[in-house]
Structure 1
């Protein structure tokens, strides 16, 4: 399965995978409005042995098959002050 990846120029670290190149009609209007302009960045074959840096490729394939798109949001940022530093003092 091929996926066509676009970067949102409005939302940092936000990407859209499409099942067909430039098929933006698949995106719901509210999502499209939030993303703003999209720039093509990559064509990738999502084979079963393929790995992706931030996404589970099986989830991406399922979303592409069911909806025609997959939305990759930025990783959540955790406050380092909330981390367990190993001190109980």
Structure 2
């Protein structure tokens, strides 16, 4: 299985995996609008890989088969200041 990976021009660290290069027929229009401009990052032979950066390769494969695309969004950012404040509150 091969897929094309595109980077969002609107949202940082957001990637769209599709089954074929420049074919977005399975991607819902609202998602395409939110995604903004697309930049092809790479073509990935999933069958020859056992992992992908932060994406779970098995979830990517299933999503590509079942819905025709996979959207990778960055994990939520941790507010280190808020976390530190909470830790200080527990020490009092």
TM class by shorter-chain length?
Answer: 0.7 to 0.9
Higher fraction of helix: 2
Q: Across the two proteins, how many residue pairs are aligned to each other?
A: 89
Relative to structure 1, the CA distance from residue 85 to residue 53 in structure 2 (aligned partners, 3 Å threshold; closer, same or farther) is farther
Unaligned runs of 5+ in 2: none
Q: RMSD of the TM alignment (CA)? A: 1.9
Structure 1: runs of 5+ lacking an equivalent:
none
Runs of 4+ residues deviating >6 angstroms:
none
Tell me how far apart the structure 1 counterparts of residues 8 and 70 of structure 2 sit (CA, whole Å): 13
Q: TM-score when scaled to structure 1?
A: 0.88
Q: Is the 8 A contact 1:4 1:17 kept in 2?
A: yes
Does residue 45 (structure 1) correspond to residue 48 (structure 2)? The answer is no
Which has more radius of gyration?
2
